[in-house]
Amino acid sequence: MTKKLSPQQVIELIDSKADLIVPIANGEPIRLLDILEENAAQLDGVKIHQMLALRSRSYIQGEIEQLRHVSYFLSGATRKVYQQAKMELVPNNFHEVPRMLQKVTKMSMVLTVASPMDKHGYFTLGTQADYIAEFIGKVPFILEVNDHMPRTYGRNQIHISQIAGYVEHHAPLSEEKVPEVSDKDLLIASTIIQDIQDGDTLQIGIGAVPNAVISMLKDHRHLGIHTEMLPDGVAKLVAAGAVDGSRKYTNPGKIVATFAFGSKNLYDFIDDNPAVEFLPVSVVNDPREIAKEKNIVSINATTEVDLFGQCASETVGGKYYSSSGGQIDFARGVRFAENGKGYICMASTAKNDTISRINLQLTPGSVVTTGKNDVDNIVTEYGVARLHGVSISERVKRLAAIAHPKFREELLFDAKKHGILI
């Protein structure tokens, strides 16, 4: 008996008031979501829960009353909709999303893209494990089989007996638009590189600075990778002999991630590559698991820092832009690791040096992502402010020292005026 589904059979599997779970990035099933939109008149009160939606859709825009989007991380497809108060955003730390979904939703069905079935009856979730892999065998899955999805290893295998059915839709995967690396990014990266030792294990976030860091690591040796998102440059580090994972404390020899998003070169690299393992985010981003890597180095970005060291990494100019993601997961994980180091990076200014990104207080409306007690190092093009275990007064001095020179005197004056600088 075939498990290949017609559009009508897909709709018949969706209960009234269902909570549907859709994964992040390229796990987003284009055809299955098309089917839901095209047949929405047959649905009733269905919610679709997802982080980082890739495509703008009618239901996301609030134009289909039977379907509602619930976001756990905003993207270009959802940002304006949220800012117009047309959809919900649920605060979270990435590693807690699977448990949160179990608590706050009915977990009716998981809809996801998968690589084709092998001779043993197994599909893989390809570029994904994220918050859905944990539910394999526990929640019904409908797969969208795509020949372009790489076949991967880890805890993201699903047998045909564990799915409610599948459809087919073969399309190239979306690719990340790599931001151009600026001179400031290179200066920030060069500061971080000085602290990275042979044998360290790296978590590298998304953006220009992480890309710049990767480009400077080719002469290092025995590096490991334990990261939420697997970025493009890791394949080049493996080819250069910089990454072999031989000194990792967990999953030695393996590149560990919870999802991958990059170019076709990255997708080709992970295809049928047993050195890369995709594990659930509840494992990869759990601070207790991260802390087992004694020499873990975490590199992430922010948009604004106040003189206490609080980082607003999910708002821009006081408006919501994304969400917390895994920044605090790794900020806490490296704190518990024996030799852990955490770096949060940003250019010192915005809008052609007219606005300082280091300020006495965060912009009104901004949300703290990494708090003053969890932050380790802040890096700008002017250097690094090492904040862990440092008094507020000393933090003021160190943060002012890495601000743009035109704002330093004003920052110190304001701090003195408000009684936080001795």
Please identify every residue annotated as catalytic: 228
Alpha-carbon distance values, 170 to 29, 167, 363 (Å) = 11, 10, 45
Burial class (CB in 10 A: 0-12, 13-18, 19+), 113: buried
Beta-carbon count within 10 A of 68 CB: 17
Sign of CA dihedral 146, 151, 155, 161: positive
The answer to whether 112 and 144 have CB atoms below 8 angstroms apart is yes
First to last CA, the chain: 76
* Dist. CA 215–CA 129, nearest whole Å: 26
Q: How many residues does the chain have?
A: 422
The answer to whether 143 and 112 have CB atoms below 8 angstroms apart is yes
Alpha-carbon distance values, 149 to 19, 45, 128, 142, 274 (Å) = 25, 31, 10, 16, 16
